[in-house]
Amino acid sequence: MERKYYIDNLRWLAILLLFPFHAAQIWSGGEYSGFYIWSHTNTVFYVFSTFVYPWYMTFLFTIAGMSCKYALLKRTNKQFVAERIKKLVIPFFFGLLALVPVMTYTAEVFFNGYTDTYWKQYGLFFTKKTDLTGYQGGFTPAHLWFLLYLFVISLTTLLIVRLQKKCLPKFRVGSLSYFFIVLLFVPEWFCIYVLNIGGKSLGQFMILFLFGYYILSEESILQKLQQCRFVSLVISVLSGSLYTYLYCFENIRNVWITGLYVFYGWTTIIMLLGIGRSRLNFHNRVSIYLTQTSFPVYILHMPILVVVGFFSLKLPIGVAGQFLLIVLISFIATFLIYEIVKRIPVLRFFLGMKKQES
């Protein structure tokens, strides 16, 4: 099967968005105001966070489901599981022990005036009871929850696929109307309440992964999304604007705003796939490099950004200046550290990177 470069390109573009998105959380508001360091609510960054959040992680799980389908065409189940362990489980535990404590230590100092040593903070990290966000110290998987969820969902999907092949060996999603594809937000809406742990719904991400595996991996569906990409764009912008206004300025929190949240997120996903298939199906030296960096950058960026943010907030350069400084320095530092890490075999292993070709 010919490689779908637009999926790779969409993934690394989403990963690069992490820098402004997480930097904005330092000034966000509402449910988005929690972070390892926090200044005050700035309307611009609150709106930005609210506009991005409904589709950001859901998009990554959806294209992960598509990639899973393509991966299993070239790998046995055992090879797939072994690869998932190397790429997800090992980096999760490495990050939990080596990277996340940097963030919770910073939070302890920032919010609680912690003055003891970094190493003694490890005791707090494993014993302090929190809401699992770690935004004011204590234990948290932090951003690495994505790796853990993705591993659980990948193995669950593998079992579902095996069962499906045994019971319904000829099952395949055929051509669907665009209207029906849009309506898939309804089962996602129901699933958002399933195993919702700290605001991260395993049920929602699971069904999106399955949508990616069974539905959005089909060429006929992708062609339909490409044909209707501008319709999706209009729906996405309108629903996103409405959701952001109602959430940020009317402070609405109910089941219907949740439905709008899911609808906006889903239509944005299908819009991105449609536009991506049309405009981003290419590869060059830059795109190949950024594709290779996606997972390591995801793992490394957060502790760097938090530390940079901690010191940047002390500078008298205004909110805009602080934001730009945080994004720029954390971006450069993350890629510099990536360049160092990729040359050290043991760190490549701990970050789930493939062996360097000789």
For residue range 161-208, what is the model confidence (pLDDT) as tens digits?
999 988 888 888 878 999 999 999 999 999 999 999 888 999 999 999
Q: Give helix 5-16 / helix 43-72 axis angle, nearest 10°.
A: 150
How many whole angstroms separate alpha carbon 239 and alpha carbon 323? 27
3-class DSSP state of 217: coil
Token pair in block for residue 292: 């290779």
Structure confidence by residue, pLDDT tens digits, 80-124: 999 999 999 999 999 999 999 999 999 999 999 998 999 988 888
Region class of 194: left (phi > 0), else alpha (psi between -120 and 50), else beta: beta
Neighbours of 211 (CB within 10 A): 25
What pLDDT, on a 0 to 100 scale, did the predictor assign at position 358? 47
Per DSSP (E only), the strands in the chain are: 196-197, 200-201
- Phi/psi region, residue 148 (left: phi>0; alpha: psi -120 to 50; beta: rest), is alpha
Residue ranges for the chain with pLDDT beneath 70: 1, 32, 357-358
For residue 311, the model assigns a pLDDT of: 97
Q: Tell me how far apart the alpha carbons of residues 212 and 208 are, in angstroms, rounded to a whole number.
A: 6
Alpha helices in 99-214 (DSSP H): 100-112, 121-127, 145-167, 178-182, 185-191, 202-210
Cβ contact 295:265 at 8 Å: no
> Rounded CA gap, 113 and 242, in Å?
40
Please tell me the distance from the alpha carbon of residue 161 to that of residue 156, in angstroms, as a whole number: 9
pLDDT of residue 307: 98
b or e along 244-261 (b: 16 or more beta carbons within 10 Å of the residue's beta carbon)? bebbbeeeeeeeebebbb
pLDDT of 1 reads 64
Sequence-ordered list of residues with C-beta below 8 angstroms from that of 58, at least 6 positions apart, any chain: 204, 205, 208, 265, 266, 269
Please, are residues 301 and 334 in contact by the beta-carbon 8 Å criterion?
Answer: yes
CB 283 within 8 A of CB 4: no
Residues β-bridged to residue 135? 137
Question: In degrees, to the nearest 5, what angle opens at C-alpha 202 toward C-alphas 198 and 206?
Answer: 160
The DSSP code sequence of 322-335 is HHHHHHHHHHHHHH
